[in-house]
Amino acid sequence: MLNFNKLTGSHDLVLVTLDTLRFDAAQGLFEQKKLPNFEKLLPANGWEKRHAPGSFTFASHHAIFAGFLPRPNAFLLRVLPAAKLQQKTRS
């Protein structure tokens, strides 16, 4: 993983976002070898399932520039079931 603190001030960075990119669609195209240009940039097993730091594009971009990068989807597996359980017990 890149340490962006070491890159800041010494490298030019370009932020590329793929708005509304669905993991299942992108991974399917990767596995079918239909993304030759992205294959050069992606890990050997394809896309990483991530969760955006904001609920819409503008908020996500601001969060990214503030240092809140998209996190692995495992976060959702831990937090959302607990939140649903709390909602059920309050009802």
Reported as a single tens digit per residue, the pLDDT across 52-88 is: 888 888 998 888 888 888 877 665 555 555 555 555 5
Kind and range of the H or E run holding 65: helix 57-65
Structural domain boundaries enclosing 15: 4-90
Number of domains in the chain: 1
Full-model pTM: 0.60
Evaluate whether 23 touches 49 at the Cβ level (below 8 Å): yes
Give the whole-angstrom CA distance, residue 38 versus residue 35.
Answer: 5
Question: Percent helix, strand and coil across the chain, each rounded to 5?
Answer: 45, 5, 50
pLDDT attached to residue 11: 76
Beta bridge partners of 51: 71
Give the whole-angstrom CA distance, residue 49 versus residue 30.
Answer: 13
